[in-house]
Structure formats: C-alpha cells, structure tokens
Amino acid sequence: MARPKPTVIVTRKLPDVVETRMMELFDVNLNVEDKPFSGDHLAAAMQTCDVLVPTLTDHVNKAVIDRAGPRLKLIANFGNGVDHIDVAAARAKGISVTNTPDVLTEDTADMTMALMVAVPRRLLEGATMIRDGQFKGWSPIHMLGRRLYGKRLGIIGMGRIGTAVARRARGFGMAIHYHNRRRLRPELEAEVEATYWESLDQMLARMDVISIHCPHTPATFHLLSERRLKLLKPTSYLINLARGEIVDESALVRMLEEEKLAGAGLDVFENEPAVNPKLLTMKNVIVLPHMGSATVEGRINMGERVIINIRAFCDNHPPPDRVLPPTP
C-alpha cells in the first residue's frame, strides 16, 4: 500500500516546471495568484500542512512558528538566505529547516560584476541619455568613467558567492582583498590571489570597490555603519547584492549626497520593497529590484533543491540542505 503524499503549501508562485513536478509527488496547495501571505495566513497554513515552502517575503518568526500545528515537520525554504526564518524557534518545536544553497552562486556573481562595471562606467546614464535624445556626439571628455583594471576590490563575506565574484574580478585585472569570519584555505586563497584582512576597518579604508556577500544576521545588521562607511575613500564604489540591512542606508544616502562616495550599485534595500526615494534621483547610483539571482535556470534549480529536500525528509533521510541555528 502506497504511503499518503505529504501535504505541501507553497507560499509564492514558482516556475511551472517546478510546480508541475511538485503536483506529481506531493499533495500541494499552490499560490497561483502569487499574492504574499499575511502573518495570519502563514500561521493558518502552518496548522494544516506537513511541509511549508516559504520564500524571503515570508516572515516565519517565532510568533508564527509557535502557532504551527503538530503536522508541520519541515520548512523547505525556496532560497538560500534564511534570515526571515527563526531557525532556532523551529528547531525547538521539532521543525527542520532547509534552504537551496549553491544554485544561485554564479547568477549572483554575474550580476555583481554587471553592477561593478555599470556604475563606474556610467552605463545607466549613457543609456538614459540616448533614450532621452540628449546625445550630441562624441567628445574627448564626454561621459568619462573609471576603469576596473588595476583597482582593489574588497569582498565582505568570502563564501560561495564572494569567491565566485573574486574569480570573475581577477579576469578584469582587479586585486582581490577580503574580510571573512574565517580565513580561506591557503590553496583557495592562492587560486584567486586574495589578500586577507582580519580587520574590516583597515580593509575598507584601502579599497576602490567594496562588494558585500555576507548573510544578514544580528551580528551583521548595519555592519557597514555610518562610522565604517566614512572609512571608505571618496573615490570608492559600494556594491550590495546580499541584504539591505547590512548597510546603514540613511548614512549611505548622506555620503552619496555629500560626494563622499563615488557611487553605488544596489540590488537590495534596508526596508525592501521600499526604496529610499533619494537613491532614485542619483546619477551615480544604480538600483535594481532584487534580481541578482533571477534567471530561469536558477529558479528551476532552486525548485529542484526544494523537492530533493522534501523527498529526502519524507523518506526519513537527512535532507541534504538542512540549516542549523547559528551558534551563540
């Protein structure tokens, strides 16, 4: 006799191929309208399912987890970051949490390099000038930007994505520096010719470009505080495709207004989806709608990892991407 299929609730619209495969394997409730769940809706869903598949727009905090029913045993997150899930509260209630690491690494690294080129070379300004009919012809001093070749790149968070960015940046002739909780293995450090800085402050003061790739945790909230932002050179650029809360956005805006920074490329924001309106008017800033990992291939790969985690868990095997609470 076949075992009953687990009841799975998916909180957002996923690629059709992923949803179709889920329908074949599980008893699934899909969010066809792609309307984000409210807190009460989320809590109600967690009272009736075996597996919840949330995304970064769902705030699965302790209060919501405490309202979960006894059936819920797995939160299979569609995404790598789990800062929107109280993993410790879930574990205390006997609920496992998984994520989808690795699959978005290359896509996010590609977008990082796109912003790293686009901001100093003023690509958005140039494209806007053409669209607005303002291009009057070439001149020797027209639309001058800054080259990447020979510049120093400081990477904050040298995990999978940070390392992938380092490999790409080496191809642009940049010198790689990084700050991380742990120093890389010597062979990996040598591969990307990276210089390790134990002191974030010391690294910030010497870089031409800063790229953020660390997770958002209580320890990294406003890691780039106003004090640290003031350490940056006025000719430097800030790129952020990690989480907006890592940067004191108000302080960043002030420094850009006062020309104490050369520019910024931002795919994430502190109060997302709200964006500080001042950022929208700055010519030396490119803002994107959290699309760093947004490729068809990447989203399908993420869905496949979610399915693998659910199947492993329901077959009484350890899910490959289980997330544990951070150590104190």
Residues 6+ apart with CB under 8 A from 302: 78, 79, 100, 103, 104
Q: Annotated catalytic, 297?
A: no
- Please identify which of the residues 228, 243, 299, 305 carries the catalytic annotation: 243
Cα separation of 35 and 48, whole Å? 19
End-to-end Cα separation, the chain, in angstroms: 46
* Bridge partners (DSSP) listed for residue 7: 27
- Please identify which of the residues 168, 206, 290, 311 carries the catalytic annotation: 290
* Distances, alpha carbon 6 to alpha carbons 3, 97, 203, 300, 320, in Å: 9, 16, 50, 21, 18
Cα separation of 162 and 154, whole Å? 10
- Please identify which of the residues 168, 272, 304, 322 carries the catalytic annotation: 272
Query: Dmax of the chain from CA atoms?
Result: 78
Q: Annotated catalytic, 243?
A: yes
Cα torsion 244, 262, 224, 77: sign: positive
CB atoms within 10 A of CB 277: 8
Q: Annotated catalytic, 290?
A: yes
Catalytic residues: 243, 272, 290
